[in-house]
Structure 1
């Protein structure tokens, strides 16, 4: 990991105090390089992060009694309780020159302990309006963004399918994410078992990792597919680091989650000019446009009948599907580029430095 040699130019510290990969960790991994490209001068602190990210050493904490060049304090950007608490100790007990910012993605009422910590932040970010509604302190909504260059439409969708070893003559509907009950993978499979037999020009793929804890769930889904005689048309393709290539092979994406904190997959699909059918969880209703300028459809969570009907709407209407996909690409490129997220986060930093709430 490239440790910074001079902390005087570091304006923001992004601590990551959990080794296990999570959505929070993924946010740090994706956002920090963009923040630095925009001149925000951010370093990470803690384990479980890629070698390429700029980082500070633990001993560099001693530098935090001194403000960075040209500023009155540094930003300590926490995303978990275990990162808020050290920030409070560093600022309030050790009197280091820090302003504390917290990002919340939770969609439930916080515990008393979390509320205690959040109340001591100089700035609070909510990742969606729904998340904001659960916070009892003033906050700013800054929604996650994605790399719209990485997730982009193919020049030729048939060629994109062939590149993934899929039949270029088939239309493809996909469901990406960890294979488990929470993610609604079973709802997707059951919908496809209902829809595909009468639509021989369509196939489906499930892409994502199955952990040992959910192996029996995965095995049951495969048995259902085999019993329906669809093993050649509902494919389990596993986890892929180049998932952007698989989005380009799709004609329709379904996000069937029963619960989600935020959920980036609809953005990744729409950025690839693929319309989306999604359940009304996480930030999905705030990401997808319905109605006249639709980029997809929202259905009630865990409602298999509604999800099947929404999927049928797009499977059977090529022009509607293609128009929604084109609008989805423009929608994401305009509103959800990751540079927009970095700029929004930086505005919260500036507010905190200018005397934001504490």
Structure 2
């Protein structure tokens, strides 16, 4: 049986970490798999156990700490000599010592790229040349992510979700319910959403905000609180749920979810999860979102444009009865090709051919 080592950073249960779990589950029945987690914060025991993980602070490279550590390189050399893997897969790619070690020991390596160029634009060119030189196989999680590369070929295996069993939603003209799922921050477009609702929607509605407000930006906090205050003064029901371990009890009650990111996202797991329960999505036309959202299952708007978003919110509100049911049905259908079984088959086919 082929031995595989998975390597990943851990900064919380976000998209990359969730996909690490899916990657492990895809491989564990066919291969001997062991995971090494480079922890930025402590890893929950339940998550560590679920992916057969060894956890510690193995590497030092990050956006604010751009260097290669000799001690980290020696660590990975010792690990690979001891474990003797046939393949090393890096789930998030900014761990250069791993690739130096695999190259030195002539071990096959694979990397899943999930980072956006916008976050690493100052050294992305060097990073791309490095991957081309030291990594055997580069995999991107969307066509958008793959398009960032100009000097190497990157195949696309889209991220996945567990598909729920859901029926088509209906909407019959009652008080509309909008929802937002994600971190409360400027780059996620929360101010754009609140501004559009204030300026463009002239009928009572509910707004469900799901996610932590982690911003340390005083200006963002001030704008956020003022816009929320104005919306409530107009008689709208604004519910700030904070972080929810199971947000979809709320999502399923919404008529539309809004994904207003200003900066490009390399995929959009939350968008896909909303579609999978039959909720149409109104998303900014940037990054990988247009790969998931179209006129068949929702609406798109220009990023950071509250006027265009406001127009799309009002168009969305005109969809009722059969028109809305068609959007909901298409939302469910569009998510089906991103289920775990499809992902697992793609991963197994890829690993077999490396």
What is the TM-score normalised by the length of structure 2?
0.79
Shift of 1:85: 2.6
User: Where do residues 138-149 of structure 1 align in structure 2 (5 Å cutoff)?
Assistant: 138-149=153-164
Q: Alignment partner of 2:198: what SS?
A: helix
* Structure 2 residues not aligned, in runs of 5+: 55-74
Instruction: Provide Cα deviations, 1:225-250, integer angstroms capped at 9, x if missing partner.
Output: 22341475122211101112222111
| Pairs aligned (count) | 316
Query: Conserved in 1, the CA contact under 8 Å of 2:26 and 2:347?
Result: no
Query: Conserved in 2, the CA contact under 8 Å of 1:43 and 1:55?
Result: yes
Query: Conserved in 1, the CA contact under 8 Å of 2:26 and 2:348?
Result: no
* Structure 1 residues not aligned, in runs of 5+: 1-8, 68-72, 159-168, 353-358
Tell me: CA distance 1:339–1:86, structure 2 relative to 1, closer, same or farther (3 Å).
Answer: same
Structure 2 partner of 1:225: 228
CA–CA distance in structure 2, aligned partners of residues 284 and 274 of structure 1: 15
User: Where do residues 132-281 of structure 1 align in structure 2 (5 Å cutoff)?
Assistant: 132-135=146-149, 136-149=151-164, 152-153=165-166, 170-196=175-201, 198-200=202-204, 202-211=205-214, 213-214=216-217, 217-228=220-231, 229-230=233-234, 232-259=236-263, 260-281=265-286
CA–CA distance in structure 2, aligned partners of residues 16 and 309 of structure 1: 41
1:25 paired residue among 4, 10, 17: 17
Structure 2 partner of 1:305: 307
CA–CA distance in structure 1, aligned partners of residues 303 and 169 of structure 2: 33
Shift of 1:206: 1.1
Query: Conserved in 1, the CA contact under 8 Å of 2:200 and 2:307?
Result: no
CA–CA distance in structure 2, aligned partners of residues 252 and 243 of structure 1: 14
CA–CA distance in structure 2, aligned partners of residues 138 and 303 of structure 1: 34
Instruction: Provide Cα deviations, 1:33-77, integer angstroms capped at 9, x if missing partner.
Output: 3443x6454331124542332325588644433x5xxxxx23433
CA–CA distance in structure 1, aligned partners of residues 325 and 27 of structure 2: 34
Structure 2 partner of 1:325: 328
Tell me: CA distance 1:188–1:40, structure 2 relative to 1, closer, same or farther (3 Å).
Answer: farther
Tell me: CA distance 1:307–1:85, structure 2 relative to 1, closer, same or farther (3 Å).
Answer: same
Instruction: Provide Cα deviations, 1:246-289, integer angstroms capped at 9, x if missing partner.
Output: 22111111111101232222211110101111001221111123
Tell me: CA distance 1:219–1:32, structure 2 relative to 1, closer, same or farther (3 Å).
Answer: farther
CA–CA distance in structure 1, aligned partners of residues 169 and 129 of structure 2: 53
CA–CA distance in structure 1, aligned partners of residues 99 and 169 of structure 2: 49
Q: Alignment partner of 1:51: what SS?
A: helix
CA–CA distance in structure 1, aligned partners of residues 211 and 269 of structure 2: 14
Shift of 1:219: 4.7
CA–CA distance in structure 2, aligned partners of residues 231 and 60 of structure 1: 61
Given the alignment of the two structures, is residue 55 of structure 1 paired with residue 59 of structure 2, yes or no?
A: no
Structure 2 partner of 1:117: 130
Q: Alignment partner of 1:242: what SS?
A: coil
Structure 2 partner of 1:43: 34
Tell me: CA distance 1:111–1:227, structure 2 relative to 1, closer, same or farther (3 Å).
Answer: closer
Q: CA RMSD in A?
A: 2.8
Tell me: CA distance 1:230–1:53, structure 2 relative to 1, closer, same or farther (3 Å).
Answer: farther
Tell me: CA distance 1:313–1:127, structure 2 relative to 1, closer, same or farther (3 Å).
Answer: same
CA–CA distance in structure 2, aligned partners of residues 10 and 350 of structure 1: 10
CA–CA distance in structure 2, aligned partners of residues 86 and 283 of structure 1: 28
Structure 1 partner of 2:65: none
Shift of 1:102: 1.0
Per mean C-alpha deviation after superposition, the further-off stretch among 243-252 and 16-25 is 16-25
Query: Conserved in 1, the CA contact under 8 Å of 2:280 and 2:298?
Result: yes
CA–CA distance in structure 2, aligned partners of residues 203 and 56 of structure 1: 42
Q: Alignment partner of 1:221: what SS?
A: helix
CA–CA distance in structure 2, aligned partners of residues 309 and 61 of structure 1: 56
